[in-house]
Structure 1
């Protein structure tokens, strides 16, 4: 298998697998840099300083209020108007198996306190694993939540959609959200409102019947992972020829079925439709700065600490 990367947004551009004697592109992507800069779906990008949403684009640290860059109504999404996905990263090193990208986010970047030095490593192994390692240090206390926003279609990115993929997520709880994607409840059992993915399930199964999924037009929810399980999630193509396991050190997984991908440019002078790909974004729970009581490690990084997390995508090819 081969992957392609770019220092624009430390972006994962391509993921080609040898399936039945042919190369199968399983990652959604654009044709050129101009399209990547224009699209709003965060295709394959490294997300930061804080992935997902922060309500009202404000945080409070040690009694000080910080106004953040709002880019989804009054809220902040994926780090603000000029998040890490829109930055030109430095290529610290590269080889046939590994690329290390670095970025310095200055104090006050998108409203966040502290200078944050970030390092993202992509490693491709001989057994078809793509391992992403995230490291960061800060000069001031700041929330940090780094992830990758790759969209997968294991049948091939030119196939219609991912609704006939099989998905399994090892999580007992999820977060309900409002129309803006802001959590409007504490964690809820997956047994409520047909959100249980602990057993393999066709994504299309009762897809828009759940009132919770009706609010967001499909899955767009954070699941709190059951850390007694080594695998966070498993995705299987409709033709059963490709399986992908997701492993991570992060506490939660945002499942997003590409509900608003329509009009996003693709590699073939066309556009993707809704549900063309699925994002499995390992991260802290959304809006965590406002919910320190949630059962996960703190999302705040202190000056004496190092942020270190991994996401591993392992492909099994028939």
Structure 2
């Protein structure tokens, strides 16, 4: 186990202003150029599980969970310094929105009115645009030793989106190895919303090398193919007989060794696609994915209320990012699982564009539960 002061801005945390609230620690770790303070909030539960939340981007900055031998380790990737995060944001652990994933050509129509949002991923808008929710500092509105709630109010017209959107992001250690993340949003006039979490996971531990030997199960019978700019074509295709079939667990990298044989993998240099878990959201979280790491024995089960799951295999980690423990992050050193609406839903008739619409009388909710166990005494947690 690494010293728990390692991680984002370890030196800054040591120099920060620390206040204790029971078992909880809060520290000022730096400032934005305009002087806005950035804090970390550390959560604990009785099992020793520990999470660290960053107010910049309402991000999950660290999560310590036990391996099969009971040894705690951080399984979340992140920048070594705050300066690196500000200089080159990469969505490490952050909330992504106002509309997660891609919006084709940065354009959509809502209630017969056309809107344009910033394009920051080739011709498309990604994760809310040039200044999405990952790049703002969130207000802490409730803090307890094992949970925290943060809030951000996005003004009408923010990044081109209509309506004043009030968003809360809650993190809670719920016992039994569970971390729950819940995003809620309300608006004062019709808008579109799609929020998700963008944590980069490596169950062997942050800085421990490749995650491509992790065994992944995705509970989906279909996926949505993409075009050359990673926008869905509008088709929903069965996974049976394709490299996108994860209904039975298999190593993430198993079919990447011969990626040239599958044009869809070549488009994103690996997996960067949406799996169709359902066609509609559910009232209660349902298991979408399960990951087992043979090296550490850790098993992570992900449940959510959302219909889609974007799976990204860390394709653009390029060996230039210095991680929290001082190691360089390379391609495949982590994976990302993002429960959400299907990408580009507002522009895709076959996806049901109305699912992206939020009215003043409604509340958007995305609840995600990450449950950690180990394979000790079990069959790989399957």
TM-score range, shorter chain: over 0.9
Q: For structure 2, list consecutive stretches of 5 or more residues without a partner in the other structure.
A: 1-48, 377-382
TM-score by length of structure 2 reads: 0.80
SS of structure 2 residue aligned to 1:214 = helix
Partner of 2:305: 249
Partner of 1:25: 74
1:41/1:264 contact within 8 Å kept = no
Does residue 59 (structure 1) correspond to residue 108 (structure 2)? The answer is yes
2:60 to 12, 26, 32: 12
- 1: CA distance between counterparts of 2:123 and 2:270? 23
1:90 to 132, 136, 139: 139
Greater shift after overlay, 54-63 or 288-297? 288-297
2:273 to 212, 218, 221: 221
1:305 to 352, 362, 382: 362
**Structure with greater contact order relative to length (CA < 8 Å, sep ≥ 6):** 1
1:28/1:157 contact within 8 Å kept = yes
Greater shift after overlay, 21-30 or 291-300? 291-300
Partner of 2:166: 117
Q: How does 1:1-318 map to 2 (within 5 A)?
A: 1-19=49-67, 20-191=69-240, 193-207=242-256, 208=259, 209-226=261-278, 230-239=286-295, 241-262=297-318, 263-294=320-351, 298-317=355-374, 318=376
Higher Cα Rg: structure 1 or 2? 2
Aligned Cα root-mean-square deviation (Å): 1.8
Partner of 2:35: none
Which deviations, in whole Å up to 9, do the C-alpha atoms of 1:76-111 show, x marking residues without a partner? 000000000000000001111110000000000000
1:39/1:265 contact within 8 Å kept = no
TM-score by length of structure 1 reads: 0.95
Partner of 2:20: none
Greater shift after overlay, 226-235 or 257-266? 226-235
Partner of 2:25: none
**How many equivalent residue pairs?**
318
Distance apart, 1:212 and its partner CA: 1.6
Q: Taking structure 1 as reference, are residues 295 and 141 closer, same or farther at Cα in structure 2, changes over 3 Å only?
A: closer
Distance apart, 1:238 and its partner CA: 2.7
2:167/2:184 contact within 8 Å kept = yes
Distance apart, 1:240 and its partner CA: 5.4
Greater shift after overlay, 160-169 or 60-69? 60-69
